[in-house]
Amino acid sequence: MPRARPEKIVRQTAAAPQEQGSGCLSDFTIVPLAVIFISALLASFAWKTNPSPVDLPLVTSTSISPIFRIEILHWADSISKWAAASQLDPNLVATIMQIESCGDPRARSSAGAMGLFQVMPFHFYAVDDPYNPDTNAARGLAYLARSFETGGGNTRLAMAGYNGGIGLIGRAEWSWPAETKRYVQYGAPIYEDARNGSSSSTALNEWYIKYGVSLCRQAHQRLGLP
Q: How many domains is the chain partitioned into structurally?
A: 1
- Phi first, then psi: give them for residue 108, nearest 5 degrees: -145, 135
144: in domain: yes
Give how far Cα 27 sits from Cα of 23, 36, 60, 120, 194, Å. 11, 15, 51, 65, 61
Short-list 216, 207, 218, 153, CA closest to 184: 207
88: in domain: yes
25: in domain: no
CATH number where 138 lies: 1.10.530.10
pLDDT at 63: 85
Q: At what angle do helices 155-164 and 178-195 cross, to 10 degrees?
A: 140
Exposed / middle / buried, residue 77 (Cβ in 10 Å: 0-12, 13-18, 19+): exposed
What is the DSSP code string of 25-91? Answer: --HHHHHHHHHHHHHHHHHHHHHHHS--TTTS-----SS--TTS-HHHHTTHHHHHHHHHHHT--HH
How far apart CA 190 and CA 192 sit, in angstroms, is 5
54: in domain: no
Question: Is residue 194 within 8 Å of 187, Cβ to Cβ?
Answer: no
pLDDT at 223: 97
How far apart CA 109 and CA 183 sit, in angstroms, is 15
Spans of the chain below 70 pLDDT: 2-62
pLDDT at 4: 59
Range of the domain at 154: 70-223
Provide the annotated active-site residues.
100
pLDDT at 45: 37
pLDDT at 140: 98
